[in-house]
Amino acid sequence: MDETYIKVAGQWKYLYRAVDKAGDTVDFLLTAKRDKAAARRYLERAINLHGLPEKIAIDKSGANTAAIRSVNEDACIDIELRQSKYLNNIVEQDHRAVKRVTDPMLGFKSFWSAQKLIAGIETMHMIKKGQLDCPGGSTASAANQFYSLAA
């Protein structure tokens, strides 16, 4: 679990992302603030979509630490927190796919457009990683998988 910066309307916003140990994208969320409430909202959303993790590797972010500890206390669960910049390298490297597309844009004009475009970028990246399940176990090209989402 980590966050990266995205420029929206001349201000830095925060893109929270999580990647599992296989390198698959768990979830992403663009927020205006980097605080405990935003990190907790993201964490709860990821848990609701993908289930409870055993361990979470983060960097030294105070907001992420506080969010994980508050979820542990409130839900009476025990998610192991591992704080190390080296353990977090998988998600740091996965940021490159988003940054490669967004950095040449020099930012977004509105928060709404940033959310929509980043969702599309993340979806395409997930398709490239083979995370989209094809019916019947068949294989399809990235373009066909993308078109199947519209159907």
Taken in order of first residue, the domains within the chain and their CATH numbers are 2-150 (3.30.420.10)
- Six-digit token pair at 147? 């078109």
Q: Are strands 25-31 and 11-19 parallel, antiparallel or unpaired?
A: antiparallel
3-state secondary structure 36-94: HHHHHHHHHHHHHHHCCCCEEEECCCHHHHHHHHHHHHHHCCCCEEEECCCCCHHHHHH
At which residue do the structure tokens 């080296």 appear?
Answer: 86
Q: pLDDT, tens digit, for every residue of 42-80? A: 989 988 888 888 888 888 888 888 998 998 888 888 888
Specify the DSSP class assigned to residue 138. -
Q: How far apart are CA 58 and CA 88, in angstroms?
A: 6
Mean residue pLDDT of the chain comes to 84
Q: What is the mean pLDDT of residues 76-90?
A: 80
pTM over 0.85: no
